[in-house]
Amino acid sequence: MLSTAILAPLARTGLVRRAADAVFLRYAHHRTVALDNLDVAATQRNTLMRLVRKAKRTRFGRDHEFARVGSVADYQARVPVRDYEWFWNTYWKDAYPRLDGVTWPGKVPYYALSSGTTSGATKYIPVTWEMVKSNRKAGFTTTAFFRHAYPQAKLFTGKFFFLGGSTELRKQDDGSSAGDLSGIAATEMPDVLREYTFPPYDLALIANWEEKLTRFAELSAKERVTAISGVPAWMQRLFHRVKQVTGKSTVADVWPDLRMVVHGGTKFDPFRDLFVKEIGSDAVKFCEVYPCSEGFIATEDPRYNLLRVVPDHDIFFEFVPVEDLGKERPARHTLANVEVGVQYAVVLTSCAGVWSYLVGDTVAFERRDPPLIRFTGRTKYFLSAFGEHLISEEVEKAVAHACRVCGVYQSDFHVGPVFSADPHKPGHHMYLIEFAGPTPDAQRFAQEIDAELTRINEDYGPHRVGDTAMLMPEVRVVKPGGFDEWMKARGKYGGQNKVPRMDNSGNMTKDMAGWFEKNGWLS
């Protein structure tokens, strides 16, 4: 077998790149067929039993009698559904960063730092060697599904552009490292694959995001980029910068071999039309992924245009109906018995030592075999201040609809309730929206959002009748760059950081609107 030292230089040659692409295409077909034929229920059951056996001598395993667990039902009877705060306060806080044998056997080499968009507090998520392997396998599975569906979309003939957060990791007292999950992935990238990726490691270390985006744009414009991945809002900023430094009118003019755009971290609906326009090529296909710091959950299968839960990545999945959240004993479904169309909260048990861990996301199944889902939002992302019961998926669809009807493109937005000071006057929703390019008439845009929400949500319309329970939404236009400045002011600028979409309390919405007003960012 050729050594890495030999393969890496050879990877620069077109012949080796074409050969690598052909080899991967064969793997893609094999992997896809294998997943199509997989017994999902048995695979998930075996995954859970393997994880339980591995961790039975940990502190958590002893406390929850893992030695006596012989089935999914045994496990669920002993391990309740819990969230990050419970794990941190009960098991991790006093031992951190030395979590050896606490909830997973052996030393934890990495910690993914995550602030989340709902809490703001930094979370320290253990990333074990097994989880590094799981995430790597998930990346290959994503690419396999894509290549199986688009066999002519050659990817390894060029470079994969990973637009992640900072790759700089902080060394801790026990020798472990902490930082952005994308930095962990970059550190653990096999040497033989580095020739197929961009940016180079030293460039990704740049801390200043304005400088980093410019350098990314300047250097990547000289590369043969075939795929790019990142949070939509940050890819959008990169696309603008790339066109700016090259003078080209579309992204496809800069990267004519681009075939795959991988997006995740937020709903893509409001960004899709803008991306199509910015890229300017029908040959480029979009691929959604659903990763989180606690483990990779699902990836798009282009044959269905839906996210597909991948059951053989050393993660056991449970799904709790949203209405059961907060109950002492909520219903807990697995991939074997979920129901189509139900709103579920996602619960993970993984090879990183999280056990029936409430991620904070909601999904709905479109199909059980194969397990196909839609990401519908966050458990804390909803609007029901006036009884309207809106979930983030519906709000995203309404904003995307208004953009299409008004012929505009949004780059970011936030929405929350505004409560009237007059007890006899109803409140309303305020949308703070930044547009890419021309801005619409705010009143018409609000009317289109209102009409679409009335159409797709059966609770919203009755609350709008006669303006008795809720008034017409208000749209405030944020000047270009406003959300970036707001994120900078909170130390959350760049990488995987995202603007909080929704705030049911209205407090964040009020503070955000006040900040924009005070600093001159509202039109």
pLDDT at 121: 67
H/E segment holding residue 482: helix 482-489
Instruction: For residue 244, give Cα distances in angstroms to 238, 240, 251, 444, 523.
Output: 10, 6, 10, 31, 24
Cα separation of 234 and 266, whole Å?
11
H/E segment holding residue 423: none
pLDDT at 10: 43
Parallel, antiparallel, or unpaired for β 285-292 and 260-263?
A: parallel
pLDDT at 14: 72
Cα separation of 61 and 58, whole Å?
5
pLDDT at 428: 95
The answer to whether 229 and 199 have CB atoms below 8 angstroms apart is no
pLDDT at 115: 61
Cα separation of 241 and 225, whole Å?
15
Parallel, antiparallel, or unpaired for β 343-350 and 357-367?
A: antiparallel
Retrieve residue 95's tokens.
């031992």
pLDDT at 164: 80
H/E segment holding residue 487: helix 482-489
Please tell me whether the peptide bond between 199 and the residue prior to it is cis, using omega within 30 degrees of 0. Answer: yes
Tell the CATH topology of 382-518.
GMP Synthetase; Chain A, domain 3 (3.30.300)
Q: Count H helices, E strands: the chain?
A: 19, 20
Cα separation of 140 and 144, whole Å?
6
Which residue spans of the chain are classified as CATH 3.30.300?
382-518
pLDDT at 12: 53
Q: Sign of dihedral through CA atoms 323, 324, 325, 331?
A: negative
User: Phi, psi (5° rounding) for residue 266?
Assistant: -165, 165
| DSSP 8-state class, residue 333 | B
Letter for the amino acid at 160?
A: F
User: Phi, psi (5° rounding) for residue 81?
Assistant: -80, 130
pLDDT at 495: 65
Q: What global pTM score does this model have? A: 0.82
Along the chain (523 residues), what's the average pLDDT of each consecutive run of 10 residues?
42 74 95 98 98 98 98 98 96 96 97 65 91 95 97 95 84 93 88 88 79 93 96 89 96 98 85 93 96 95 97 97 91 98 96 96 95 87 82 90 96 93 88 95 96 91 86 96 92 78 90 96 94
Full DSSP string of 57-126 = TSHHHHHTTGGG--SHHHHHHH---B-HHHHIIIIITTTTT--BTTTBSS---EEEEE-TTTT-S-EEEE
Which residues, in sequence order, are bridge partners of residue 486? none
Cα separation of 233 and 334, whole Å?
33
